[in-house]
Amino acid sequence: MALNDRVPPNPARPDRPRKARVPTGPALRVDPIGCQAHGLCAELLPGHVTLDEWGYPILPTGPVPPELLAAARAAVRACPTLALRIASE
């Protein structure tokens, strides 16, 4: 496997996070300094929040699907370091 083949060429500044997509709504946000990788958010929102190899949450940039809002609010309440919040776009 050639390493460089897997890096997408992208002239438009590949490292900049994409701007909010068209559908807007309440989205999960994490304070990266406050987060201590307890991982409860991923447990309460399986599939929506995943963890990186060090246990820190990877959040989708888009809004929380309506059917997951209750679970998202529960995750916000459960975060031991109060690092998770729901931001309205």
Partner 1 sequence: MTRTGPIADPARLLPAGGAPAELAAHRARHGAVPRIRDARELVALVEAAGLRGRGGSGFPTARKLAAVAAGGRRPIVVVNACESEPASRKDAVLLRHAPHLVLDGALVAARALRARTVVICLHRGDPVAAHLNAALSQRRGDGVDWQLAEVPRRYVASEASALARFLTDGEARPTARPPRPEQRGVRGRPTLIDNAETLAQLALAVRYGPEWYRSVGTRTDPGTALVTVSGCVARPGVYEIELGAPLATAIGAAGGPTVPVGATLVGGYGGTWVRDPGLPLSHDPAGREGSTIGAGALIAVPATACGLVETARVLVFLAAESAGQCGPCTFGLPAIADDVARLAAGRADDALAGRLTRRLGQVTGRGACAHPTGAVRLARSMLRVFADDVRAHHRGHPCPPQPPVLPIPAPTMLERAWR
Using CB under 8 A as the binding rule, whether residue 35 contacts partner 1 is answered as yes
- The minimum distance between CB 67 and partner 1, in angstroms, equals 26
- Give the span between the Cα atoms of 59 and 49, in whole angstroms: 5
Using CB under 8 A as the binding rule, whether residue 58 contacts partner 1 is answered as yes
- Give the span between the Cα atoms of 55 and 39, in whole angstroms: 6
Instruction: Give the chain's length.
Output: 89
Using CB under 8 A as the binding rule, whether residue 7 contacts partner 1 is answered as yes
Residue position matching structure tokens 């002239």: 11
Which residues make up the interface to partner 1 (CB under 8 A)?
A: 1-4, 6-7, 9-17, 31-37, 52-56, 58
